[in-house]
Structure 1
Amino acid sequence: MSSITLTRLTTATKSTSRLCFSPLCKGTINSQGVDLHSSLRRPHSSFRKLSSLPFTKWFPRCVSTRLMSYGLNVTPGRYRKGVFLVTGAAAVAGIVVGVCHFQRAEMASRIVKTEKDEGDILERCKSFMSPPVTDVEVLQQRKDEMSTRMEMLIMETQAAFCKALEQVDGGTFKVDSWQRKEGGGGISCVLQDSKVFEKAGVNVSVVFGSLSEEAAKQMRSRGKVLKAKDGKLPFCAMGVSSVIHPKNPFIPTVHFNYRYFEIEEADGSKQWWFGGGTDLTPMYLNQEDAIHFHSTLKEACDKHHPQYYPDFKKWCDRYFFINHRDERRGIGGIFFDDLDSPSQEDVFAFVKSCARSVVPCYVPIVRKHVNDPFSPEEKAWQQLRRGRYVEFNLVYDRGTKFGLATPGSRIESILMSLPLTARWEYMNKPAKGSKEAELLEILRKPKEWV
């Protein structure tokens, strides 16, 4: 797997070294205790000129310095005409890799710059599904802080996606605001057992407090060096997360999550990072849909660096892997985590582009299949595939694990990702050459769609 995740340097390190090193000296450990780094390839025996950066290779563990290759532009799929344009944006799990300082500079020069002033906060709040979690006056006072800007963006993303789905379905999302006694709260928007969607959830959460020991342990296993004060690690986390389970088996399930995390260490300094991604889980494979979905994500990534899409696509294929089934959850998309380079502003701009791609990459697919006829057998297959979705979310998903390990978490919102109905059959095996078997082949051998 080749993934660009850029690691952060302390001030002391920056003054003594011009290289970035990954904090993953002990590798990333999966739920079976296997070091994922141990299986990665070692670097090519001879490097080419750095100016051309023609390939991507991994260094041995504890160094993780790497080069970035350049990608190729791909003409977007034919869905690109007449799709939704979203002005919303978005909101933390993965492998962290370093980048040489000259590569940082090169990458930063390719980032699409955005203005810090995103508009009047009070005016923007009028379009939200609910008042934001943080008091509006506090947001106005801290309008230039990343936590405020991120909260506004995830609220806008929630509203844009909910309204687009309501147009397709004809129903209305139930808006449920909740508070967390330890600090913060969230807004859960759910459309359940409606015309098109059996269960559609779009959540925003903004929480703060002190990390539990279990949550801190999980982060340290990813290579985070966290220095607590009196055993406490103050944190702030926020994100937008959505899972959509349609009634029609020919409309795929979609998931997206974009998030921001901040931790204050014993000396008062802060660590921050972004994470997220968007992925598609069809029950029946449609090549045209897959190309459209991946092309839209690639277009969003290419605005910032041509290597983002291929690297984060591979990361997605690797992350959404149901190990005990030897298959992926779906046909992937993009996934990244612990992203904290080349700068906070640059990563924020990238996350914003990803969030803006959510509606155009998914809603045209829903509209295309909303009236497709289906048989009871095809509905039963959808139920079996949903069972696989449940298995991944409860056994492997890092976000679910973090939520369950965080004191005061709202269980209803954490488990919103689970479908209303699912099915498990003993030793189910699709007939050779069937559409169901075709899907399984792709889930076991990921394909390059663009």
Structure 2
Amino acid sequence: MSDAVFSDPFDLKKVETRAWFEHLRDRIHAAFEALEDAAPADLFPGEPGRFVRTAWERPEGGGGVMGMMHGRLFEKVGVHVSTVHGAFPADYAKNVPGADVDPRFFATGISLICHPVSPRIPAVHMNTRFIATTKSWFGGGGDLTPVLMADRRQDHPDTVAFHAAMQAACNAHDPTWHAKYKVWCDEYFYLPHRKEPRGTGGVFYDHHDSGDYDRDFAFTRDIGL
């Protein structure tokens, strides 16, 4: 494809990141529905849940698709994608990288919130996103929140497996990223009023721009997977 097709230096990135987040959404919807189908009927009676997709529009520009499922294994799951654009207010733009030069922005991403029926299965939160002003970067992460306090141990098998998966996603691109983004997650999701973490952690990152877009995009894809 000729470079002349894309007048904005971020146009191709906007197209391919949006396509990825929508593809990941489709994979996650299918995986959750397969788990609903496979759940033992004696433990989780009823009909397997299915996602209902609802499109929405943002008056200022763009929109997205909400995906909600109420099932028998999963009490409530939301897996949404959005792609929006517009301009930041002047007082906010000055605090956003690149927006102080030009307040226009583009943002696309996926978000996931999962609450299982069983209190022994942890709740999960995940999102990944791509943002562009006159600069561009990735952000996102995922964390695990066991419902029962007895399960909120760093040596719990669920937590160990979750951290191992996040570390593998980081290590495939830069072995230093996991330690940095794990601490960021722990600090970001600490609840000062309760003097405790929200869950057992994960990774969190923002304004991620190593200078190598392809590597950063691959890293964000691996975090989502």
TM-score, length basis structure 2: 0.84
SS in 2 for 1:158: helix
Give the match for residue 188 of structure 1. 66
What letter corresponds to residue 210 of structure 1 in structure 2? A
- The alignment status of 1:281 with 2:145, answered yes or no, reads yes
Separation in 2 of the partners of 1:214 and 1:167?
46
Separation in 2 of the partners of 1:340 and 1:282?
31
Contact conserved, 1:143 with 1:149, CA < 8 A, in 2? no
The alpha-carbon deviation at position 333 of structure 1 amounts to 0.6
What letter corresponds to residue 119 of structure 2 in structure 1? P
Give the match for residue 53 of structure 2. 175
Give the match for residue 82 of structure 1. none
Q: 1:209 aligns with which of 77, 80, 86?
A: 86
Q: 1:241 aligns with which of 102, 111, 117?
A: 111
Change (3 A) 1:207 1:144: closer
The alpha-carbon deviation at position 337 of structure 1 amounts to 0.5
SS in 1 for 2:135: strand
- The alignment status of 1:315 with 2:179, answered yes or no, reads no
Give the match for residue 331 of structure 1. 200
The answer to which structure has the higher strand fraction is: 2
Give the match for residue 27 of structure 2. 160
Give the match for residue 250 of structure 1. 120
What letter corresponds to residue 50 of structure 2 in structure 1? T
Deviations for 1:126-150, whole angstroms, at most 9, x for unmatched residues?
A: xxxxxxxxxxxx99xx997100010
Separation in 2 of the partners of 1:225 and 1:262?
8
TM-score, length basis structure 1: 0.43
What letter corresponds to residue 177 of structure 1 in structure 2? A
Percent identity over the alignment is 36
- The alignment status of 1:227 with 2:96, answered yes or no, reads no
Higher relative contact order (CA 8 A, sep 6+): 1
Separation in 2 of the partners of 1:200 and 1:258?
17
What letter corresponds to residue 129 of structure 2 in structure 1? R
Contact conserved, 2:82 with 2:108, CA < 8 A, in 1? yes
What letter corresponds to residue 200 of structure 1 in structure 2? V
SS in 2 for 1:152: helix
1:365-444 equivalent positions in 2, closer than 5 A: none
Contact conserved, 1:237 with 1:259, CA < 8 A, in 2? yes
Separation in 2 of the partners of 1:320 and 1:250?
21
SS in 2 for 1:176: strand
Contact conserved, 2:98 with 2:135, CA < 8 A, in 1? no
What letter corresponds to residue 181 of structure 1 in structure 2? P
The alpha-carbon deviation at position 271 of structure 1 amounts to 1.1
Give the match for residue 104 of structure 1. none
- The alignment status of 1:259 with 2:123, answered yes or no, reads no
Contact conserved, 1:254 with 1:280, CA < 8 A, in 2? yes
SS in 2 for 1:316: helix
The alpha-carbon deviation at position 181 of structure 1 amounts to 2.0
What letter corresponds to residue 275 of structure 1 in structure 2? G
The alpha-carbon deviation at position 151 of structure 1 amounts to 0.4
What letter corresponds to residue 72 of structure 2 in structure 1? K
Give the match for residue 6 of structure 1. none
Change (3 A) 1:326 1:211: same
What letter corresponds to residue 145 of structure 1 in structure 2? L
Deviations for 1:376-409, whole angstroms, at most 9, x for unmatched residues?
A: xxxxxxxxxxxxxxxxxxxxxxxxxxxxxxxxxx
What letter corresponds to residue 62 of structure 2 in structure 1? G
Q: Provide runs of 4+ in structure 1 moved above 4 Å.
A: none
The alpha-carbon deviation at position 241 of structure 1 amounts to 0.4
How many pairs does the alignment contain? 203
What letter corresponds to residue 60 of structure 2 in structure 1? E
